[in-house]
Structure formats: structure tokens, C-alpha cells
Amino acid sequence: MKKLVNNPDVVVDEMIDGYLKAFPKLVEKVEGSGRALVAKQSLHGNGKVGIVIGGGSGHEPAFMGYIGRGMADGVAVGNIFASPPPQPIVEATEAVNQGNGVVYIYGNYAGDIMNFGMASDLADMEHDIKVESIIVRDDVASAPKREKEKRRGIAGEFFVTKVAGAASARGDDLSEVVRLTNKANESVRSMGVGLTPCALPQTGKPSFVLGENEMEIGLGHHGEPGVEKGPLQQADDVCDRLIDDILNDGDLKAGDDVAVLVNGLGSTTQMELFIMFRRVEQRLSEKQINIHRSYVGNYSTSMEMGGCSVTLMKVDEELKALIDAPAECPLYAQYE
């Protein structure tokens, strides 16, 4: 698989280099660090609760694109599909700490749990920073409901980060940011479909194999096995499968409001994503579930993987206000 890279061993560092040079007014590297980046607008001594995100690379614009006003303050950048080690997480934590606590948001993966866990302990013991961790588990395909603690985090982390970032930006204290972020995390559900694989720059080999007319329902963001392989169906049928599984897992009912994200995994066109969104809207409309705000595009990718995911987050008045709050990051901006 062809890629525009130089030395495959340093793709992440060259990406970070390009990113920092593209948005010098918005982001910077923590001094002396290789992989901890912070939003410049966050460092104004406003006493806000710090928000630190991170994870493996290859999901761009997640996670590094989501630091900025109204979103996260710092990010630790791992190698491709690999958790960052504790050091850059601690560096980001120190950089964004303003004395009122820091919240970590990351997906439910063994490496991230270990490294963010160690970073949290180090931040507490060595730097006296109080850290609360929120582990995202939105992928309903990755484990049954009775084993929700095993579920992986996928594109729904975007909504969880949005809620945390908006709450901390308006000055909520640590316990309130944690309460709202947990509420978002409990309210968000996603499910994806994979059509074509991606390849690590170092190997050039596809991450999984699917037949020429095959799709995989429930495929994970790193190519983890899904729940069903089968012939590719029409977009509406694929969408129905995702929506049904999400709705059956949750408690959405007529009159409820949701935020919707139709997320491209990398090589899927916006045309296809809007055709998928069209069906999501039809299905929710039938059930008298109201779409409060929509996001359609590449928010959390798996490099050039083909396919998409659908995310629904039930929103009440307080979550609506946070989803609607303005945000300004290098790779995502929205007005109220």
C-alpha cells in the first residue's frame, strides 16, 4: 500500500513536526518533551480544570487535533496504534495543571489503561496533581452489555472530550467536570463497519483481510475482529444494522434528543457518509428521536481504513449546552 512518507520509523515525529509548524498560534510542544503537546489558549492562568487526552497515532484528527479552546488542553501522542508511555502523559499533565485538577480521557485499551494509570499515580505522587480518569467504552460491538467494562473506545470519545472540554472551559470545578464527562460517557454508543484494511507504514501490509465484496460489522479501530463478516450490503441495510444494535443496547425513546456522529474511518468518502447519515436520520425520525446536532466526517480514523461508524449520544439540557459550546482546535472548529 503506497504512502507519502520518508523513513517509516519516524512518521509520528515528522507528523508532529508538521502539525506544530502548521498551527504555531494554536499548539506547541511541552518544552523538552517529544510527544506531549498543549493548546496555547489553555495556558492563560484561568484556573480551569485541565483535560488531557491521548492514545496511539493513526486516528488523526484524533487525538492531537482536538486540543484547543473548548476541547482538551493537552495530548500525549503514541506510536501508530500504540499507547503513549507515561512520560509524555505526565508532561502534558504538568503543563496543563493550574492547581484545580486534571481529567484524563482515553479509550479502553490495555496499553492506555496501564500508561495513563501510571501517569496518574506519578502526577499525584511526584507533582501533587489530582487526576481523575474517564475510560471511554462506546463500541457496543466489542462486548455484550453485561460485560460493558470490556468494551473498546472508538469515535464516541470525540463527544466525551467535547463535553469535558466545554465544561472545563466555562469554569466548572473538577467534580462537576467529572460528573458531566461520566454522564456523556454513559450516554454514548457507537458501532462501526469495516470495508477495507489499512497498513502500518513500517510493514506496508494490510491490517486484516476481507473479500472483494465483503464487509465486517463491528470491526474495531485497529482492525480488531467484529461480530459478523458477510457480503457488502446497501448503505441503508448496513446503517440499519448499526442503528438497531445501538438502539437495542441503550434506552433511547420517543421524545429523546441525541447528538449524532457519522465517522469515516479514513478512505470512505463524505458522499457515502452523508448517504449513511440520511438513513440514520430516517430511522431516528421514525422513532421520534430528535437529532440535536450532527457531525459527519473523519473524526477518528484508522489511517486509510475503509468503512465508518455511527455514534449516538443521548443529550439532556446540560449535555446539549456543552455539545453546542464553541470550540477552536487545529483540526476541528465549531461555532455555537
Binding residues for a copy of itself, per CB under 8 A?
2-6, 11-12, 14-19, 21-23, 57-58, 60-61, 65, 193, 195-196, 212-213, 215, 232, 234-236, 238, 260, 266-279, 281, 291, 294, 296-298, 301, 303-304, 306-308, 328, 331, 333-335
The set of cell numbers assigned to 305 is: 481504513
Give whichever of 131 and 261 is closer to a copy of itself, judged by the CB atom. Answer: 261
Burial (CB count <10 Å: 0-12, 13-18, 19+), residue 126: exposed
Place of cell 462501526: 192
Give whichever of 182 and 334 is closer to a copy of itself, judged by the CB atom. Answer: 334
State the catalytic residue, choosing from 44, 59, 127, 221.
59
3-state secondary structure of 21: helix
Give whichever of 56 and 101 is closer to a copy of itself, judged by the CB atom. Answer: 56
Sign of the dihedral through C-alpha 225, 229, 235, 240: negative
Burial (CB count <10 Å: 0-12, 13-18, 19+), residue 76: buried
- Least separation in angstroms between residue 296's CB and a copy of itself is 5
- Least separation in angstroms between residue 166's CB and a copy of itself is 16
Between the CA of residue 34 and those of 3, 84, 92, 98, 298, what are the distances in Å? 24, 11, 11, 22, 26
Between the CA of residue 280 and those of 142, 221, 235, 320, 336, what are the distances in Å? 21, 21, 10, 19, 23
Q: What are phi and psi of 171, to 5 degrees?
A: 100, 10
Give whichever of 186 and 281 is closer to a copy of itself, judged by the CB atom. Answer: 281
- Least separation in angstroms between residue 99's CB and a copy of itself is 28
Give whichever of 149 and 317 is closer to a copy of itself, judged by the CB atom. Answer: 317
- Least separation in angstroms between residue 298's CB and a copy of itself is 7
- Least separation in angstroms between residue 66's CB and a copy of itself is 12
The set of cell numbers assigned to 201 is: 507504514
Q: Is 292 a catalytic residue?
A: no
Catalytic site positions:
59, 222
